Amino acid sequence: MTLEGNGSGLQHRHLLGLETWSADEIKTVHAAARQFREVLDRPIRQVPSLRGVTVVNLFFEASTRTRVSFELAEKRLSADTVNFAASGSSVSKGETLKDTAQNIEAMKIDMVVVRHRSPGAPQFLTRCVDATVINAGDGAHEHPTQALLDTLTITEYHPDLTGLRVSILGDIMFSRVARSNIYALAALGAEITLCGPRTLIPPGINEMVPGGLRITHRLDEALEGCDVAMALRIQLERQGRQLFPSVREYHNQFGITRAHLDQHPDMLVMHPGPVNRGVELASDVVDHERAVILSQVTNGVAVRMAVLYLLSGRSLTA
C-alpha cells in the first residue's frame, strides 16, 4: 500500500482545530484513514510508517476513547510513544504547561498530542516547542480528530455529504465536539441544524460558518428530514450552574428514544461518547443497529493514524 506524497495535501503543520481546514484537507485525512482502516482489519495490524518517530501523549484531562485511540494509532504505526498524565506528574508541584512541554521536548520528541481543559492550550504549545502539535480536545474550543472520525463514519453511509441533513443535539454551548463538527460538516457541504435548550445554545453561533446554521429548540423539528442525528454529552462538569430543570426533563425534551428511530427509519444516530444512557439517548437506542457509536470509535484509530502519518511528513510503505 502506498500513499501519495510526503503528507502533501495538508496546508497545516499542526492540527489545532478545523476552523481553517478545507474540504480537500479533510478528504485527504479521510482517504488516508480508509487505507489505515484496512490495516486494522489485517491479522497483523501494524505498519512501519512512523518507525523512529517519537510521540508524547500529554493528557491533562480525563479521556478513555481519545487517549487509547491515539496510543493504539501510534503503536500501529510503529512510533515510539510516551504517555503523560497530569496526575502523578510535576504539574501537581506547580510546573507550568510551557515548562512541562519544553522539558519533555528536551528529551527529543517529534510530535505532541495534547488534551487540556484550557481553550487554546495546543496553540500555546506551538509557540513553546518545535514538535508538531495535535489537539486532542481543548476545553470547549475544538476536538478536531473527533469531527474527522465522525465525518469519516458518515461517509460510510453517505459518501457525499453535500446537502446531507445533520442535526447536532444538546449541549452545544460547552461542546468542543460540536464546534469541530460544525466546521467539518460545513466545509463538506452538509446542512446543519442545532437543537437544544435555549440555555445551551450560545448566541451568535449561527455566524460560525458562511451560510449559517439552522437553530431550533424542538427535537421534533430537528429530526424532521434528518439524515444523521448527532447527540452530544451533557457536560455537567463544565456547566457550573443548573442550565435545565433536571436530567429527566432534559431526556423528555431532547433525548432520542426508540419511538424517534421508528418515526425516522433512515436516520443514523451518532454520539462521541461517553454516553449518559437514558439522558441523551435511551439505552435501547445506544444498542440499536442504527446507532453507529462503536463504528465511530473504530474509525477513531484509523483517523488518528492518518493524522499522525500525514502531519509527520513521512511516506508510507506497508
Among 137, 144, 196, 255, binds ligand CP (CB under 6 A): 137
Of 64, 103, 252, 283, the residue at the interface with ligand CP (CB under 6 A) is 64
* Nearer CB in complex with ligand CP: 59/309: 59
CB of 273 to ligand CP, least distance (A): 5
Task: Please check whether residue 308 is in contact with residue 111, taking contact to mean a CB–CB distance below 8 angstroms.
Answer: yes
DSSP-assigned letters across all residues of 112-173: EEEEESSTTHHHHHHTT-SSEEEEEEETTTB-HHHHHHHHHHHHTT-S--TT-EEEEES--T
Question: Which strands, in side-by-side order, build the sheet including 132-138?
Answer: 80-85, 54-59, 111-116, 132-138
Query: Which of 143/251 has CB closer to ligand CP?
Result: 143
Smallest separation, CB 42 to ligand CP (Å): 25
User: CA–CA distance from 224 to each of 166, 255, 266, 318 (Å)?
Assistant: 11, 15, 11, 45
The minimum distance between CB 61 and ligand CP, in angstroms, equals 8
Rule CB under 6 A: say whether 17 interacts with ligand CP. Answer: no
Report the SS3 class of residue 33. Answer: helix
CB–CB of 299/305 below 8 Å?
Answer: no
Choose which of 22, 54, 63, 298 interacts with ligand CP (CB under 6 A). 63
Rule CB under 6 A: choose which of 227, 272, 292, 303 binds ligand CP: 272
Among 273, 290, 313, 318, binds ligand CP (CB under 6 A): 273
Q: How far apart are CA 32 and CA 34, in angstroms?
A: 5
Q: How far is the CB of 58 from ligand CP (least distance, A)?
A: 14
Q: Name residue 264's amino acid.
A: H
- CB of 5: closest distance to ligand CP in angstroms? 29
Would you tell me which residues interact with ligand CP (CB under 6 A)? Answer: 63-66, 137, 143, 146, 272-274
